[in-house]
Amino acid sequence: MDMIIKNGTVVSPTGMYKADILVDNGKIMAIGSFENVKAEKEVDARGLYVLPGAIDVHTHLAAPFQGGISADGYMSGTRAAVCGGTTTVFDYPVQHKGQTIHEVVNEKKEICEKEACSDYAFHCAITDFNGGEILDEMEDAVKDGIASFKCYLVYKKEGQMADDGMLVQLMMKGKELGAMINVHAENPDLIDVLTEKYASEGKLSPWYHYMSRPEFVEAEADKRVVHWATHLDAPIYIVHMADKEGLLACLRAKAEGVPVFVETCPQYLEFTCDVYKREDGRNFVCSPPMKGEESRQALWKAVSDGMIDVVATDHCPFMSYEKDWGKNDFRKIPNGCAGIENRYPYMLDAANRGRISFERAVELCASNPAKIFGCSNKGTLTPGKDADIVLYDPDLDFTVHIENMHSDYDHTIWEGIQMHGYPVQTYLRGKLVYDHGEYVGKPGDGNYVKRDPVMR
């Protein structure tokens, strides 16, 4: 036996209990009471919580975007992930016109083989319907474990937008194959009209990033997507939900049995659009933008009621000099913020303070993402699954500073945020990769996660 983790409190999505965990060959062998079992390594987890490694199903690593390139590559992004208890990272490579899905993904896979510090998977963002050939390619991609695809309903000028015709065809094919279609839901034409209007009035501060993409811009697209899911009876996963009106439309549809899945991110739970009035407002520019307090409260309610399915990050940080391009013109600010190292600790902090349960934090950050995206070896501490394990000290206080993060960016929207309770160790398939503030793994430790199709 390689390792025994003794005397900890194991957290599952359905309960918490004192138990020991046996690990061998990177897998969880058994959970129970093992007084007399000897293992090569013994870890005393007395006073600690033993959690499944989290899964971040929404990141943009080394992503060229809006003139910049996201500041975390595959090495630093996945290194930061494990230092925050996230052991599997999903990236969103974007198809360039004419590229096949395999070309898009294989290019990234090659980099990850050498660089990844966590396990990794891909959702391919489809931008070129290629006369319908993409539908055939989806079949092969699913066989290779790429069981989800993304449609941007925005970023028209960037050449990344999927129109409604493409979206519905991908949804129908996704349903047939057991593949999920993820959407970034905002209305591009409304954004253009509002952006033009404010620019023509000389209103170009970061506040107008929010004003040109307010609640109803997101809600329109959310409702459109829910409409397609309802009438096609085809699953849809809405990424980074940030507005109350769209959220309520999703929840109504869910209650009627429509296969709509909802993700939100910590930035929408913590901040409101007021951040765009701050001196450093440009650093908070992401799309969709943070909304008003009513939306923030509605998101928290749905998080605690069990109605939101996943909390992910949309991790896409840019360096200060890139954010500064738009100091006086919000249209020039590359969209995106950091979060890959902060999400699990943030949701666990919410649990530690009693806002949600620990079980719910684990469900949102680990077990639901695994279930929805077909990672059968991940997401819970269960015999037979990968030994992706986080030890969490509920009494350790931690304040986020750029200096104690493990990314390559030079500022963070989470600066100064205080957490009560923090991860102290992360094991990736049984190997210690994070230990009390230090990254102790090596790039290349990460494996590709081949996913199963999920029929819904």
Measured from the CB atom, the residue of 29 and 190 that comes closer to ligand DUC is 190
335 binds, among Zn ion, ligand DUC, none (CB under 5 to 8 A by kind): ligand DUC
Angstrom distance (rounded) from CA 388 to CA 379: 8
Q: Looking at beta carbons only, is 312 or 356 nearer to ligand DUC?
A: 312
Size of the site for ligand DUC (CB under 6 A): 9
Using CB under 6 A as the binding rule, whether residue 335 contacts ligand DUC is answered as yes
Task: Give the count of beta carbons closer than 10 Å to the beta carbon of residue 31.
Answer: 18
* Nearer to ligand DUC (CB atom), residue 170 or residue 286: 286
Torsion of CA 327, 417, 335, 238, to 10 degrees: -150
- Rounded least distance, CB 214 to Zn ion, Å: 17
Query: How far is the C-alpha of 339 from the C-alpha of 293, rounded, in Å?
Result: 21
Both tokens assigned to 315: 């991790």
Q: How many CA atoms lie within 13 A of 259 on its CB side?
A: 19
Q: Should residue 213 be labelled a site residue for ligand DUC when binding is judged by CB under 6 A?
A: no
When the beta carbons of 318 and 422 are compared against ligand DUC, the nearer one is: 318
Judged by CB under 5 A, the residue of 186, 314, 363, 386 near Zn ion is 314
Ranges assigned E (strand) in 39-117: 41-44, 49-52, 54-59, 64-65, 68-69, 86-91
Interface with ligand DUC, residue 316, by CB under 6 A: yes
- Smallest distance, Å, CB 62 to Zn ion? 14
DSSP-derived 3-state class of residue 338: coil
260: left (phi over 0), alpha (psi -120 to 50) or beta: beta
- Should residue 60 be labelled a site residue for ligand DUC when binding is judged by CB under 6 A? yes
Q: What is the DSSP string of 107-118?
A: HHHHHHHHH-SS
> For residue 64, is the peptide bond before it cis, meaning its omega torsion is within 30 degrees of 0?
no
Interface with Zn ion includes 184 (CB under 5 A)?
yes
Residue 290: what residue type? M
CA atoms within 13 A on the CB side of 352: 21
**Radius of gyration (C-alpha) of the chain in whole angstroms:** 21
Among Zn ion, ligand DUC, none, partner that 236 touches (CB below 5 to 8 angstroms by kind): none
| 336 near ligand DUC (CB under 6 A) | yes
Which CB sits closer to ligand DUC, 215 or 314? Answer: 314
What are the residues whose beta carbons fall under 8 Å from the beta carbon of 286, sequence distance 6 or more?
267, 314, 316, 335, 336, 337
Is 209 an interacting residue with respect to ligand DUC (CB under 6 A)?
A: no
Report the candidate in 282, 330, 412, 371 with the shortest Cα–Cα distance to residue 57: 371
Q: 385 with 27: CB under 8 angstroms?
A: yes
430: left (phi over 0), alpha (psi -120 to 50) or beta: left
184 binds ligand DUC (CB under 6 A): yes
Distance in Å, CB of 155 to ligand DUC, minimum: 7
Closest CB to ligand DUC among 65 and 210?
65
The nearer residue to Zn ion, 236 or 362, going by C-beta atoms, is 236
Q: Which amino acid is at 313?
A: T
Q: Of Zn ion, ligand DUC, none, which one does residue 336 interact with (CB within 5 to 8 Å by kind)?
A: ligand DUC
Among the candidate windows 33-41, 227-235, 310-318, 350-358, which touches Zn ion by CB under 5 A? 310-318
Rounded least distance, CB 188 to ligand DUC, Å: 12
Contact partner at residue 326 from ligand DUC, Zn ion, none, CB < 5 to 8 Å by partner kind: none
User: What, of Zn ion, ligand DUC, none, does residue 296 touch, CB below 5 to 8 Å by kind?
Assistant: none
Exactly one of 86, 287, 313, 367 binds ligand DUC (CB under 6 A); that residue is: 287
57 binds ligand DUC (CB under 6 A): no
Residues contributing to the site for ligand DUC (CB under 6 A): 60, 65, 184, 286-287, 314, 316, 335-336
